[in-house]
Amino acid sequence: MNAVANIQDYRPLDRSTDYRSTVTWPKSELLSAISIIGLGYVGAVSTACLAGLGHRVIGCDVDTIKTAQIAEGVSPIHEEGLGELLANGVEAELITSTTNVAEAVAATDITFVSVGTPTSEDGGCDYRYIRSAAQAIGEGLRNKGEYHVVVMRCSVPPATTLNVMVPEIESASGLTMGEDFGVCFNPEFLREGTAIADFDVPPKTVIGANDDRAADILRRVYAPVDDNIIATSIEVAEMVKYVDNVWHATKVCFANEVGRVCKPLSIDSHQVMDIFVQDTKLNLSPYYLKPGFAYGGSCLPKEVRAVAHLAENLGVETPLINSLAATNEKQIQSAIELVRQSKGRKIGFVGLAFKAGTDDLRESPILEVMNELITEGYDVRAYDPAIDANTRVDNQFAYVRHVCPHLEPVVEALPGLLAADPLAMIDNCDVIVVTQRSKEIRQQVASRLGRVKVIDLVRLFDAAPSTNSYEGIGW
């Protein structure tokens, strides 16, 4: 079986050969020719689907069995509809394949990189295949003499594209990124089993680029299937892919723990979760999904403890749910550490309750931070627009004393450290810790930015200020 298609036979695409009814791209406009390095799940599906959009595609792999299969229009993997799509692409003379990456790169406008990124021995990412693919890309670009776009599609740790792949391409080609070639990171979100349907109707299309020219060329490739492309930096796009998959894994484990708790109670976990997912305001929504401060208040800490206790009594293990209190405590410790690192001694807290618009102090996590700082001898003051000297907090303190007896120092000190005027308090502090997000607080803090050190636990500003006197807890 001859695996290698002849690149010398490569010829301009006859735009009338589009065979998928979904193709809306203007036939008169020249479509980019694309080389795809790595014909595994991602590469094979991309080869078929991009040809399906009318692109000429050259699939490349070191595995001659895979290149042979692609050249013959046979799917190298089990994936619904892939064989048919590949066969159509080969028949339409849009798909060829080769083991010679450099030749394929030189003969195309865009190169997609979809080689494997297995786990290395130390648990990190094995860059071996990325490096060898990048070297071959560099060789292909060396004498090409035309601008080229390299699109990284592998799931990789942030900065891999720019710090691992690009240097290899530059040293093998003698060319410069941004001038001679552009680079994008374009994460792949396909699900095996429904990969072609996911290509046609993607959950999202993300293009990370630091070069508009490269991003525009890639944007045009995806235009027929997604007209709402999310543009960002390369590093953010790399991280998005990791975060997506960790989130999916978190959801799987969470749902399974719900099942483990429900089963011995003879409660149908599917009924529970069917109702759970119908809440798109709080449950499946951006709510609670932005990095910030620890959870708190009268419900979340109490109910997390209750479910962990329930599971223990039932004899079922719920390590994810049990770990929530520990990761919450880590966030409290991070806030304390930020204050210590600030070197300030007079610390003003803007916001006392666990969120803006309430005077509920029950299990407000900022009390933990204040308590620790008071114990360490810091001069602590606090302002909360919903709390003043007339606020009845006795019952809340009784609650706090009962659940958190270690908070006694802050409970005792609180009435004496409340400030009535936020700006006067800020002006009299070395450091302020912002714990609530509101328009009023944003204006107050903005008016003092640069004059006082700000530790922001709530991402007060959409764009974090880039000044030495501002520090966000997770950004």
DSSP track, 331-358: HHHHHHHHHHHH--SEEEEE--SSSTT-
Whole-number Å distance between alpha carbons of 185 and 300 = 38
Stretch that binds ligand NAD, among 15-23, 149-157, 383-391, 416-424 (CB under 6 A): 149-157
The verdict on 66 binding ligand NAD (CB under 6 A) reads: yes
Judged by CB, which is closer to ligand NAD: 102, or 350?
A: 102
- Output the residue with the shortest Cβ distance to ligand NAD: 40
| Cα first-last separation, the chain | 54
State the DSSP code for 405: G
Could you tell me the smallest distance in angstroms from the CB atom of residue 39 to ligand NAD? 5
Could you tell me the smallest distance in angstroms from the CB atom of residue 242 to ligand NAD? 10
Catalytic pick among 125, 154, 262, 299:
299
Could you tell me the smallest distance in angstroms from the CB atom of residue 299 to ligand NAD? 37
Identify the bridge partners of residue 335 per DSSP, sorted by sequence position. Answer: none
SS3 382: strand
The verdict on 471 binding ligand NAD (CB under 6 A) reads: no
- List the interface residues with ligand NAD, window 40-59 (CB under 6 A): 40-43
Sheet with 470-472: list strands edge to edge.
Answer: 379-383, 346-350, 431-434, 453-456, 470-472
The verdict on 5 binding ligand NAD (CB under 6 A) reads: no
Bridge-based pairing state of the strands 95-98 and 57-60: parallel
Judged by CB, which is closer to ligand NAD: 116, or 167?
A: 116
The verdict on 301 binding ligand NAD (CB under 6 A) reads: no
Size of the site for ligand NAD (CB under 6 A): 26
Judged by CB, which is closer to ligand NAD: 81, or 409?
A: 81
Instruction: Report in angstroms the alpha-carbon separations of 389 from 379, 382, 394.
Output: 19, 12, 12
Whole-number Å distance between alpha carbons of 154 and 237 = 11
Write down the residue that tokens 């997506």 correspond to: 244
Judged by CB, which is closer to ligand NAD: 72, or 430?
A: 72
Q: Half-sphere exposure of residue 199, counting CA atoms within 13 Å on the CB side?
A: 25
Asked if residues 452 and 431 have their Cβ atoms less than 8 Å apart, the reply is yes
Judged by CB, which is closer to ligand NAD: 43, or 54?
A: 43
Judged by CB, which is closer to ligand NAD: 155, or 364?
A: 155
Asked if residues 66 and 39 have their Cβ atoms less than 8 Å apart, the reply is yes
Could you tell me the smallest distance in angstroms from the CB atom of residue 316 to ligand NAD? 31
- List the interface residues with ligand NAD, window 328-347 (CB under 6 A): none
Asked if residues 104 and 98 have their Cβ atoms less than 8 Å apart, the reply is yes
Whether 299 sits among the annotated catalytic residues: the reply is: yes
Could you tell me the smallest distance in angstroms from the CB atom of residue 153 to ligand NAD? 6
Judged by CB, which is closer to ligand NAD: 153, or 362?
A: 153
Side chain identity at 463, as an amino acid letter? A
Could you tell me the smallest distance in angstroms from the CB atom of residue 108 to ligand NAD? 14
- List the interface residues with ligand NAD, window 177-236 (CB under 6 A): 188, 190, 192
Bridge-based pairing state of the strands 95-98 and 110-113: unpaired
The verdict on 38 binding ligand NAD (CB under 6 A) reads: yes
Number of residues in the chain: 475
Binding mask 120-139 for ligand NAD (x = CB under 6 A): ---------x--xx------
Whole-number Å distance between alpha carbons of 359 and 165 = 53
Binding residue for ligand NAD, selected from 51, 57, 60, 445, defined by CB under 6 A: 60
The verdict on 94 binding ligand NAD (CB under 6 A) reads: no
- List the interface residues with ligand NAD, window 100-119 (CB under 6 A): 101, 114-117
Could you tell me the smallest distance in angstroms from the CB atom of residue 217 to ligand NAD? 21
Side chain identity at 365, as an amino acid letter? P
Whole-number Å distance between alpha carbons of 256 and 264 = 13
Question: Which pair of structure tokens corresponds to residue 226?
Answer: 């997604």
Asked if residues 183 and 165 have their Cβ atoms less than 8 Å apart, the reply is yes
The verdict on 154 binding ligand NAD (CB under 6 A) reads: yes
Could you tell me the smallest distance in angstroms from the CB atom of residue 384 to ligand NAD? 46
Judged by CB, which is closer to ligand NAD: 124, or 315?
A: 124
Active site residues: 299
Q: Where on the chain is the footprint of ligand NAD (CB under 6 A)? A: 37-43, 60-63, 66, 101, 114-117, 129, 132-133, 153-155, 188, 190, 192
